[in-house]
Amino acid sequence: VPPEEFEYNQSTMQAFYFFDSVTIDGDNVDADDWVGAFNGNICVGARQWDTSLCGGEHCEVPIMGDDNGPGTEGYMLSGDIPTFKIYDASSNIFYDASPSLNVPWANIVIMPLII
């Protein structure tokens, strides 16, 4: 179950941002930690960072767009740049995260990044 701050609604407009690694102060995050994507203060996607469940060693964060449906108001529009946060479950702390690139969101895009 994601932390409350990382809850979001499903949308028909989506992009997937893959991360080669996710670290806090140079240490890899744990399998019970989470990465969340945001458009301003609105969570638009999240993933628990258990790489054993991600089909390889790399996980992705699904990032939802505004499809004009209920619950997606304020979600990503083409050209918006998502921001990211990491939830450290063992410490119950949220960290602002900086990806290796600031990639504009577009529907059905897959981007490899590093946090």
pTM over 0.75: yes
Beta bridge partners of 85: 36, 96
pLDDT in tens, 65-107: 999 999 999 999 999 999 999 999 999 999 999 998 899 999 9
Query: In this prediction, what percent of the chain has a pLDDT beyond 70?
Result: 94
Tokens standing for residue 22: 């996710």
